[in-house]
A and B are shown apart, each in its own frame.
Chain A
Amino acid sequence: MKFYANRLKKKEIKKNFEAYIFLIPNLILFMSCSLYPVLWALKYVFYQYGGYGAAEIRFVGLENLARVFRDKVYWQSIMRTFTYGFGKVLIIIPLAFLLAYILKERKKINTLAQSTIFLPTIMSSAVMGLVFYLLFNAYNGEINKILMNSGLIHQPINWLGKNHAMKTLIMTAVWGGLGNYMVYFIAGIQQVSTEAIDSARIDGANETKTIWYIILPMLGPILKIILMLAITSAFNDISNVMVLTEGGPNNATMVASLYNYRYFFPVSTTESTVPQYGYGAALSVVTACVAGLVTVLYLKVSRKLDDIY
């Protein structure tokens, strides 16, 4: 019996030989770039380690994890991540859908508009951050100049100050990600059955009703994925925050990913600073758990979206 099972297994391997070969690069990359760092981080959760050049690696047991739960600034950064993610999703999803709906037809002008809107997606977010700094800074930013010249405001707005910095960050994130989500929606809208839309129109449904009762419900499954991508990406957004505000003023824009990053790559040219890899790893693991929890909750809540078809 065992002999036959082995033979069957060998036959199966031989049959899928090419598939295995093509899987190898991905497997190696996955193991070296995803799995290994995760295992590495899991190991250092239990150590106090200042990175290469540090005096020693000290086993501290669960102390790093306990410290995470005592760290008020970290939990505030998690709440800010939610604000940032929620704000971003709230604006970007309806806007991307509207643009996709308007530009869905394959016309030259639409293609041009789509490319223009998609362009920020392929731009470096660090460069984007710098450009937005020039636009938003309070002392000679272009946005303030335009608003003041048009008489809409009389005093420059401190866009990157304590009261407005988070809103400004959300705006830059929306600008940077809009094209991407628009493309997802265009792909989704093109899958919607034209017969269903035509039947609705024959039955007298206007544009708004067609969108609300036909297109949106039929976009359910893809909407679920888009929302999930938007939520999870909000947990990873870091570069534009770093360039624009560095998490300030006074942590007003300190999102979880940047807070974690600071422990791996402390930035100070003026004073001796060493990374805290152990604590950084603990923060990353807890953040991953929070993100996982949010995703699971979302998938549970959004199960309804799967039942459309």
Chain B
Amino acid sequence: MKSKSVLSAVAMVMCVIFLFGGCANKGNVDKPTGTTESGKSETKGENKEAKTEETKKDEPKPENKNEKTIINIWTKDRHDAKYVQAKVDEYNQKSQDVEVVYTLYTDNYQQAADLAAQNGELPDILVFQNNVFDKHFGQGQWADLYQFMDEDMKKYFADVIIPGLNELDGKLYFIPTTGTACRLFYNKEIFERVGIKEPPKTLEEVLEYSRKITTELKGEGIYGFAGNMKSASSALNRSMVVGLQRETGTVSGYNFKEGKYDFSGWKDQLLLWKQLLAEDSAMPGCESLDIDPLRTQFAAGKIGMYFSYSHAEPGVYANQFPMDSAKWDAVPIPTTGGKVIGKQNFGATSAYILNAKSPNLETAFRVYKELFTSEEYLTGYYEGGYGVSIIPAIIEKANPSEDYKNKKWLRIHPEMDAILPKAPHAAFAAGIVVEGENMYKIAESVYYGDADVDAALADLNERYNKAYQEAIKNRTGYEIKIPNYDPMNPTLK
């Protein structure tokens, strides 16, 4: 009986250890934000004068002088991971008091950040992503960079500080250093083989050339057009939706002048896309294609044209899926009949946000400044072909990769590219709940021939406007109306 009691007690203890061991915070084991490991104590950074009392209090005191402060950085970017990791390694070797841990999350970046925010385990520094930034902005999750920046730094980045984009209510939350714009990428060799002399300027020409290539070279497994259509939103946000910004002056179907959604301008493009994705034009299997498998096929010379971002492709074809640079080029996204009444949005990229709740905020800023804003880093980034610099000093000084020098449309062109305001459903993503399928899924149902275009667009108009008005009524969203909005000179609001 006694042995039974002992056994029971042991079993109980084991159960408790097992349970609580599993539920315990990993913090002490994995050394997350704020923990330290052997090395030297924190150095006095050049921003010491900018140190606020608040951050002084928050900064954990190293237990002894042999400890290094761990600064965690999360990224979602695969294309520049190699370059950044090399810079991080270099930094770690030089740094006496800080160790940077650089972690790459790709498709699950947003989910990882959401979960970490919920558990209070966000890293010190994160690569900027719209979703992550917008979602946690309201909780005061992101640090105002102005509190640490000296006058020189403010002056250096003055051209990329854009009120309404990264400067909100007098606070600066991130500094984009490169830009990305959506373009049509084409294989010059394939074009030459079928006798196409110039890249397409209209969407009708895209269709014509695609059919020509597919008809003539299908036997060799070469097709005119491909899209990463597995995810309609991913595919259309780098192609049709961007083209429509220039063609209709609206942003994701939203008319800023009238303050309402109007998807009727989508009709012509959708009908052309339906033909573009048909059997006689597109590569078979586009429906289940992701962007990376698509790029492998483009690099293998099997695809004539596709849409993507200007910042990523040079790096991809230089490192990830090697392709002779002379074989490809990029041009602006063609519109229906070449109609252009507005500018298209360009993404301000290579920006980092700092976790305001990090106990090592000041050290995190120092790492950010030394690592990601140094001229050496920014020049190397541009020259390495990882992104198109938008910092005037870098553009002037750098000797960019041949791709950026020779391929005009990989660069940002102010006459065509601009930062556009967000449509209400994106600006108040949590507050505007559109019932039913979103605009991308509806577009998908049209270009796969499952829905009538007029009925589908009328349904989109009704549902998006209804959700928008409902949000205004419930105060979960606000009216965005810019009566003097000029799509050629867009203003942010």
Contact = CB atoms under 8 A, between A and B. Distances in A.
A246 to B, nearest CB: 5
Given A21-B15, A272-B429, A160 B448 contact: no
A245 B230 contact: yes
30 contacts: A17-B8, A24-B15, A53-B138, A55-B428, A58-B476, A67-B435, A72-B436, A139-B221, A140-B221, A158-B284, A158-B285, A160-B288, A161-B284, A161-B287, A162-B287, A244-B288, A248-B444, A249-B287, A250-B445, A250-B450, A269-B76, A270-B234, A270-B237, A271-B233, A272-B131, A272-B426, A272-B427, A272-B429, A274-B430, A279-B433
Contact of B288 (A22, A248, A269): A248
Given A269-B76, A270-B237, A53 B139 contact: yes
Contacts of A271: 130-131, 233, 237, 252, 426
Interface in B418-437: 422, 425-431, 433, 435-437
Interface string B188-224: 0000000000000000000000000000000001000
A130 to B, nearest CB: 10
A156 interface: yes
A191 B339 CA distance: 75
A279 B19 CA distance: 32
B474 interface: yes
Interface string A46-88: 0010111111101000000001001111000000000000000
A267 interface: yes
Interface in A37-51: 48, 50-51
Contacts of A158: 284-285, 287
Contact of B11 (A21, A53, A248, A250): A21
A265 B110 CA distance: 9
Contacts of A28: 19
B429 A269 contact: no
A208 interface: no
Given A22-B11, A248-B288, A270-B233, A276 B448 contact: no
Given A18-B4, A250-B448, A268-B131, A25 B19 contact: yes
A184 interface: no
A78 B138 CA distance: 37
The size class of the interface chain A forms with chain B is 35 or more
B111 A265 contact: yes
Interface string B216-244: 00000100000001111110011000000
A137 interface: yes
Contact of A52 (B117, B422, B435): B117
Interface core residue of A25, A71, A156 (most chain B CB under 10 Å):
A25
A272 B134 contact: yes
Nearest to B221: A139
Contact of B109 (A50, A161, A269): A269
B283 A139 contact: yes
Contacts of A246: 230-231
Given A18-B11, A24-B12, A52-B117, A161 B76 contact: no
Interface core residue of A18, A58, A162, A268 (most chain B CB under 10 Å):
A268
A54 B430 contact: yes
Contacts of B107: 267, 269
A71 B221 CA distance: 41
A133 interface: yes
Interface core residue of A28, A250, A269, A276 (most chain B CB under 10 Å):
A250
A249 B431 contact: no
A138 interface: yes
Contacts of A51: 114
Given A53-B139, A270-B237, A271-B130, A137 B288 contact: yes
B448 A162 contact: yes
Interface string A161-191: 1100100000000000000000000000000
A71 B234 contact: no
Contacts of B297: 139-140
Contact of A160 (B237, B287, B431, B435): B287
A156 B476 contact: no
Contacts of A22: 11, 15
Interface in B100-121: 107, 109-111, 114, 117-118
Given A17-B8, A250-B444, A269-B107, A53 B285 contact: no
B138 A251 contact: no
Interface in A230-281: 244-246, 248-251, 265, 267-274, 276, 279
Interface string B284-305: 1101110001000100001000
B136 interface: yes
Interface in B110-151: 110-111, 114, 117-118, 129-131, 134-136, 138-139, 141
Nearest to A158: B284
Contacts of B422: 272
B265 to A, nearest CB: 19
Contacts of B109: 269
Contacts of B7: 18
Contact of B118 (A52, A161, A268, A270): A52
Interface core residue of B18, B134, B230, B238 (most chain A CB under 10 Å):
B230
B8 A139 contact: no
A251 B429 contact: no
B441 interface: yes
A269 B110 CA distance: 8
B288 A53 contact: no
A248 B283 CA distance: 17
A138 B297 CA distance: 12
A54 B114 CA distance: 11
Contacts of B237: 270-271
Contact of B435 (A70, A250, A269): A70
A158 B444 CA distance: 18
Contacts of B283: 139
A245 to B, nearest CB: 6
A55 B431 contact: yes
A71 B436 CA distance: 7
A271 B236 CA distance: 11
B436 A248 contact: no
Contacts of A251: 441, 445
Given A246-B231, A249-B444, A273 B429 contact: yes
B43 to A, nearest CB: 34
